[in-house]
Amino acid sequence: MSRSTQIIIAMSIFLNVLLIGIGWWAVRKLGGWEATMYRLRHKGLSGVYESRKSLFGELKTTREDIIWLGDSLTEKGEWSELFGDGRHKNRGISGDYAAGVLERLPVILRNQPKAIFLMIGTNDLLMGMSPTNLLGYYRKVVEKILEESPDSELVIESVLPINDKEWVLPAKNKAIFMFNEKLQELAVEKHLVYVDLYGKFVDETGRLDKKYTHDGIHLNGAAYLVWKKTIDPLVEQL
């Protein structure tokens, strides 16, 4: 066997192993093989996503309710227990995007809730969307809420930092920081309250402080207490 043939075979083996590794990582991020196959058959949405979205369609809210709207970071917060107040309704769905929140708004807004705490954008940035393009979707979400539920108090929460030292992540904190700057500008433009949670969780290296996470993205119990404490002054006014 010639030297060149050996090199070609070695490169082929390396590329195949690399592709298998990338495929394994993607399947794992999507929730496993069964979840991945479901997403392929259902426009990228997981069965859990559709189930939770369907549940929200059946549940009723009132004008006194406080809605927590977002992705897995919001979903994993036990808001009614954290605040000791049954008015807090969790409408977070793991894996959601800004476009997904936009699609869900008719159900969220149908009874004109008292307040909406909005955090969305992490998954968009993880999948490579630019801060500028993401802002376009986010703006549509904000404008629809203001138009269809003008009496609701809308609070914009910053996107949280990530920690790529804890897990290999495609998004960069630079993009998250840039997007948060755009959110602040949008909040000023629309006369809305902006809450800087990013600054509460970032460490000296510009990453999500590892004391608040187990995987570089999602939060632990201590982090939710910090989140709750930061929001407390706003909730007390509702």
Say yes or no to pLDDT of 41 above 60. Answer: no
Torsion of CA 46, 51, 57, 61, to 10 degrees: -110
Say yes or no to pLDDT of 108 above 50. Answer: yes
pLDDT bin (cut points 50, 70, 90) of residue 128 is confident
Alpha-helix residue ranges (DSSP H) falling in 59-114: 72-75, 79-83, 98-109
* Tens of pLDDT, residues 206-235: 999 999 999 899 999 999 999 999 999 999
DSSP letter at 212 equals G
Say yes or no to pLDDT of 31 above 60. Answer: no
- Residue 176: the pLDDT is 95
Highest mean pLDDT among 9-13, 26-30, 133-137: 133-137
Global pTM reads: 0.81
